[in-house]
């Protein structure tokens, strides 16, 4: 008597595998979290205000020297205190104020751009590991569902995945 055995592979639902996968998914943080303002602030250069203050002070000193020069020129021409002197001083103040504003904006923009880049890099690194673990867990769960008809044994998985706040992943168990 010849027994026919068919060793076809099929996928069946394994409640244990599904539960393992769901537990693992629940222990992971959200798949992606955007960069927050507090993360960006954490990378802002605390010395930027000192640089801005020093640059503004230097610019104000240059402005005062230019205004003194205008006053000296007006006095030498015998027009000290005239309307032409007032116009020249107003234009000089306007240009120096514009320079202060542009310099301050540029320094703040540079600081923000560097902080945003650093926060984005950190955020990508923190989100990279949970996403990779989710993919691996999906593959493991799929592997526990596939078995041969002739083999009644199942792949036994026992682990407790955890993700620490700094992004380190531990599967903590046995296969």
Domain boundaries, the chain: 14-174
Q: Are 111 and 150 in contact (CB under 8 A)?
A: no
Closest alpha carbon to 42 in 123, 104, 109, 103: 123
Average pLDDT over the chain reads 76
76-103 pLDDT, tens digit per residue, is 888 778 888 999 999 999 999 999 999 9
1-28 pLDDT, tens digit per residue, is 444 444 444 444 555 656 666 676 666 6
Q: Would you say the pTM of this structure is higher than 0.75? A: no
């Amino acid at each position: 008597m010849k027994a026919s055995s068919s060793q076809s592979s099929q996928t069946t639902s394994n409640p244990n595998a599904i539960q393992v996968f769901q537990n693992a998914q629940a222990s992971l943080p959200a798949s992606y979290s955007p960069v927050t303002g507090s993360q960006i602030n954490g990378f802002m250069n605390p010395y930027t205000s000192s640089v801005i203050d020093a640059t503004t002070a230097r610019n104000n000193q240059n402005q005062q020297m230019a205004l003194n020069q205008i006053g000296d020129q007006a006095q030498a021409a015998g027009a000290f205190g005239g309307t032409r002197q007032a116009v020249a001083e107003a234009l000089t103040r306007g240009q120096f104020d514009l320079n202060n504003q542009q310099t301050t904006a540029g320094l703040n923009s540079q600081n923000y751009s560097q902080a945003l880049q650093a926060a984005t890099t950190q955020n990508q690194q923190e989100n990279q590991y949970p996403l990779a673990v989710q993919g691996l867990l999906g593959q493991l769960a799929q592997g526990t569902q596939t078995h041969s008809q002739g083999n009644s044994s199942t792949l036994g998985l026992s682990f407790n995945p955890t993700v620490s706040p700094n992004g380190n992943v531990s599967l903590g168990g046995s296969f």
